[in-house]
Chains A and B, each alone.
Chain A
Amino acid sequence: MRARRRQRLLIILAMLALAAIAAGLMLYALRSNINLFFSPVQVVAGEAPLGRPIRAGGLVAEGSVERDPQSLDIRFSVTDHVESIEVRYSGILPDLFREGQGVVVLGELQPGGWVRAEEVLARHDENYMPPEVAEALKEAGHAPEDYRDKAAEVGQRLDSRQRADQE
Chain B
Amino acid sequence: MLIEMIPEVGLFALIIALLMAVIQGTVPLVGAATRHPLWMAYARPMASGQFAFVLLAYACLTASYMLDDFSVATVANNSNSMLPWYYKFSAVWGNHEGSMLLWSLILAGWTFAVGHASRALPHDILARVLGVMGLVSSGFLAFVLLTSNPFARLLPDVPADGSDLNPLLQDVGLIIHPPMLYMGYVGFSVVFAFAIAALLSGRLDAAWTRWVRPWTNIAWAFLTLGIALGSWWAYYELGWGGWWFWDPVENASLLPWLAGTALIHSLAVTEKRGAFKSWTLLLAISTFSLSLLGTFLVRSGVLTSVHAFANDPSRGVFILMLLGLTVGASLLLFALRAPRVGQRVGFTGLSRDTLLLVNNLLLVIMTVSVLLGTIYPLLLDALGLGKISVGAPYFNSLFVPLTVLLCLFMGLGPVSQWKRTPARALWRHCWPSAVLAVVIAALVPLIYRGAWNPRVSLGLAAALWILLPMLKGLVVRIRQGTSWRAGLRRLSLAYWGMLVAHLGVAVTIIGVSVVANYSIERNVRMAEGDTATLAGYTFTLTELGKRRGANFVADTARLEVRHQGQSQGFVMTPEKRLYLATGMPMTDVALRPGLWRDLYVAMGEELEDGSWALRLQYKPLVRWLWLGALLMAVGGLLAVVDRRYRRRRRSAHHGAEETPA
Binding site for B on A (CB under 8 A): 18, 22, 25-26, 29-30, 32-37, 53, 55, 67, 69-72, 90-93, 95-97, 106, 123-124, 132, 135, 159, 162-163, 166
Contact = CB atoms under 8 A, between A and B. Distances in A.
Q: When A and B form their complex, which 10 residue pairs have the shortest distance between CB atoms, in order from nearest?
A: A92-B604, A33-B394, A37-B387, A95-B585, A33-B393, A33-B391, A91-B523, A34-B388, A29-B397, A35-B389
A33 B525 contact: no
Contacts of A93: 604-605
Given A35-B389, A95-B585, A71 B525 contact: yes
Interface of B: 239, 304, 361, 365, 368-369, 372-373, 376, 386-391, 393-394, 397-398, 523-525, 553, 576, 578, 583-587, 602, 604-605, 607-609, 613, 615
Given A34-B388, A36-B386, A36-B387, A26 B605 contact: no
B41 to A, nearest CB: 45
B372 A30 contact: yes
B613 A72 contact: yes
A29 B398 contact: yes
Nearest to A95: B585
A77 to B, nearest CB: 18
B8 to A, nearest CB: 31
A67 B368 CA distance: 44
A144 B368 CA distance: 40
A93 B602 CA distance: 12
Given A35-B389, A95-B585, 4 more contacts: A34-B394, A55-B389, A69-B608, A91-B613
Given A29-B394, A29-B398, A92-B613, A36 B605 contact: no
A35 B615 contact: no
20 contacts: A22-B369, A26-B369, A26-B372, A30-B373, A32-B394, A34-B390, A34-B394, A36-B388, A53-B391, A67-B607, A69-B608, A72-B613, A91-B523, A95-B587, A96-B584, A97-B605, A106-B391, A123-B304, A124-B584, A132-B387
B583 A163 contact: yes
A165 B583 CA distance: 12
Contact of B398 (A25, A72, A96): A25
Nearest to B392: A33
A136 to B, nearest CB: 8
Contacts of B613: 72, 91-92
Given A71-B525, A93-B604, A26 B587 contact: no
Given A26-B398, A123-B304, A96 B388 contact: no
Contacts of B586: 95
Most B CB within 10 A of own CB, among A93, A95, A106? A95
A24 to B, nearest CB: 12
Contact of A33 (B365, B386, B390, B523): B390
Contacts of A96: 584-585
A123 B394 CA distance: 24
A90 B523 CA distance: 9
Contacts of A33: 390-391, 393-394, 397
A67 B523 CA distance: 14
Most B CB within 10 A of own CB, among A34, A37, A91? A34
Nearest to A133: B387
Contacts of A35: 388-391
Contacts of A106: 391
A163 B368 CA distance: 47
Contacts of A162: 583
A33 B386 CA distance: 15
B389 A72 contact: no
A72 B387 contact: no
Nearest to A15: B361
A154 to B, nearest CB: 17
A117 B604 CA distance: 17
A106 B602 CA distance: 22
Contacts of B394: 29-30, 32-34
A72 B304 contact: no
A69 B611 CA distance: 10
Nearest to B397: A29
A35 B605 CA distance: 28
Contacts of B386: 36-37
A23 to B, nearest CB: 8
A95 B369 CA distance: 32
B605 A92 contact: yes
A5 B34 CA distance: 40
Given A33-B397, A35-B391, A93-B604, A72 B523 contact: yes
Contacts of A22: 365, 368-369
Contacts of B615: 92
Nearest to A123: B304
Nearest to A31: B394
